[in-house]
Structure 1
Amino acid sequence: MTAYWISTYKEIIDEAKLAAYAKLAGPALVGAGGTFLARGLPEQIYEAGELTRTVLIQFASVEQARSAHDSAEYQQALAALDGGAVRDLRIVPGAA
């Protein structure tokens, strides 16, 4: 079952660290089978929505998304981020 990696950036603390993270994270996640579907600021928000950077990545399964997160390549990206942002990251299974 398809799974979605959803990451929202509550606060960006260090732009340089975020750039270093992005340089490593994109290739690591694509290499692990992810497909970027959306990334950036919302064009419209409703209800209790927040104007925060959001990233949506599709994986073939929850297990594949977990493996991508736990991979050595992605862990290097997280090390580069090193507190440069406060994020909410979740993996959500697709609807059946």
Structure 2
Amino acid sequence: MAKGYWVSVYPAIPAPETLSAYNELAGPAVRAAGGRVLSRGGRVVAHEAGIAQRVVLIEFDSFEQAVEAYESEAYKKALVALPDGFQRDFRIIEGTD
């Protein structure tokens, strides 16, 4: 079964301290759903139209598990805690076998 991944790219984070409420809720929600953080804010080398700002990569045992985690009540509460006007490019992708 192919793994599932959350990929988040943050074009800009004007006030990182405003993410604390989201982080406090999102971390436990992701772990409870079986997610494992593979990368969070590490170094990025962007090419072409790539965004070099913060990137977060989370792995799940399956694509379905990744989708269910996003749709979980616990993660929905985390999303509500994101600050107004906050922008990110968030994708759920299926890995290869």
Work out whether the TM-score is over 0.5. Answer: yes
Which residue does 2:66 correspond to in 1?
65
Give the alignment's TM-score, normalised by structure 2: 0.86
In the superposition, relative to structure 1, how do residues 26 and 60 fare at CA in structure 2: closer, same or farther (>3 Å)? same
CA distance in 2, matches of 1:72, 1:43: 32
Deviations along 1:22-45, whole A, 9 cap, x unmatched? 111011001101000001043433
CA distance in 2, matches of 1:58, 1:50: 21
In the superposition, relative to structure 1, how do residues 53 and 46 fare at CA in structure 2: closer, same or farther (>3 Å)? same
Give the alignment's TM-score, normalised by structure 1: 0.87
CA drift at 1:14: 4.3
State the AA in 1 paired with 2:54: R
List alignment gaps of at least 5 residues for structure 2: none
List alignment gaps of at least 5 residues for structure 1: none
In the superposition, relative to structure 1, how do residues 88 and 48 fare at CA in structure 2: closer, same or farther (>3 Å)? same
Residue correspondences, number: 96
RMSD: 1.6
Equivalent residues in 2 for 1:18-57 (5 A)?
A: 18-57=19-58
Judging by fraction of residues, say which structure has more strand. 1
Sequence identity (%): 46
The answer to whether the 8 Å contact 2:44/2:53 transfers is: no
